[in-house]
Structure 1
């Protein structure tokens, strides 16, 4: 029985469209070009940062982030805020908590992401990032920390994410219930792969209560 649900961040809770469009403008390339190359990275199982290297050989993302912060200290730049939440996030998380499940957010994110999520006042029990843990998905140690944070055995945890490789298959290997959400470029592409047959696939977070909570508990 699932007693805790843990969520990835990007393209699970957060629509990253505005972030990528700001990056396209920053790089000086048409939005379609940047998004197309990014989608190609998703299709070819390349890290998303390869998109920057393809479009700007020798480009150093961290150096550019530092320059960007100096030039536009009050802007969102590569970050997100509450306007980037997918519309199903708050009602879905609230429904899961109302059903008695612990709700946790844990994903590969930079240090400022936790503060950004906490300001949204989401109905969650805990928020953590890979940066503060010092380990990233898909490393097994990341999912060990997820289980520790959830406070229940791995078999009682569902992990929801938009990628097979980084999110749900490693979660399954750690003993959790894997749930792939079909949104964002990775989500749609990965839902078509044969490995997706090993996981639950949803199109909206609003499907989670029916998937995870016995009808008698709702």
Structure 2
């Protein structure tokens, strides 16, 4: 039985369109160019920030992020950034008495934005707030601390095998890989993902059946 479901954020709960578009605009490059480079580095198994370094060799990503914030072009999330199935799926889980947590690799600012959306979730937390990021084991220890359920009764949902499915499974959690966004589609049928994920889904609305089935 699944008592708690924990959701990744980027490309699970929210689309990353605005995030990468804002970086492209800040660096004065075509949005499609950056989007294509993000896809290329992802396919190579590299961190997606490597796309920024390809465009601006030697860039200090952290410093540029702070410069964007200071210039009023910082990170922002609103209702339009949510995937269409998010509120319906989370509400169904809450109605089924499943504890709902959102926890992913995001900044404290992103966490604040998500909490302002008043999503049907028991807790929203980010790696920036916890001081530890996926795929580090400590992140999933923090997940289990807040899950209030045994690892075998806790399900982690995400799109990225290396950041979500594999480390969550290594921590003893149940896992669901969602075919969503570039990472989710790229690795949807990867043999290791198929072998590791307890479930492979196309929509968050499938989770209510999994939790109560």
* TM-score of the superposed pair, with normalisation by structure 2: 0.95
Q: 3-state SS of the aligned residue for 2:169?
A: helix
d(CA) in 2 for partners of 1:203, 1:127: 23
Q: Secondary structure at the match of 1:33?
A: helix
1:62-113 per-residue CA deviation (whole Å, 9 max, x = no partner) reads 22122222222xx5x3332222011100000000111110000111111112
Aligned residues: 211
Gaps of 5+ in 2: none
Q: Where does the alignment leave 5 or more consecutive residues of structure 1 unmatched?
A: none
Whole-angstrom distance in 1 between the partners of 2:69 and 2:137: 33
Superimposed CA distance per residue, residues 126-149 of structure 1 (whole angstroms, 9 cap, x where no aligned partner): 111112222111111111110110
Give secondary structure in 1 for the equivalent of 2:156: strand
- Indicate which of 141, 147, 153 corresponds to 1:144: 141
Contact 1:23 1:78 in 2 (8 A): no
**CA drift at 1:124:** 0.6
Equivalents in 2 of 1:176, 1:148: separation in Å?
Answer: 12
Length-normalised TM-score, structure 1: 0.93
Of residues 184, 191, 194, the one that matches 2:191 is: 194
Cα distance in 2, alignment partners of residues 43 and 28 from structure 1: 24
Secondary structure at the counterpart of residue 209 of structure 1: helix
1:3 CA displacement: 0.4
Distance 2:75 2:45 in 1: 22
Indicate yes or no: 2:31 matched with 1:31.
yes
Contact 1:163 1:187 in 2 (8 A): yes
Summarize the alignment of residues 131-170 of structure 1 with structure 2, pairs less than 5 Å apart: 131-170=128-167
CA distance in 2, matches of 1:67, 1:145: 30
The CA distance in 2 between the partners of 1:116 and 1:167, in whole Å, is 22
RMSD: 1.2
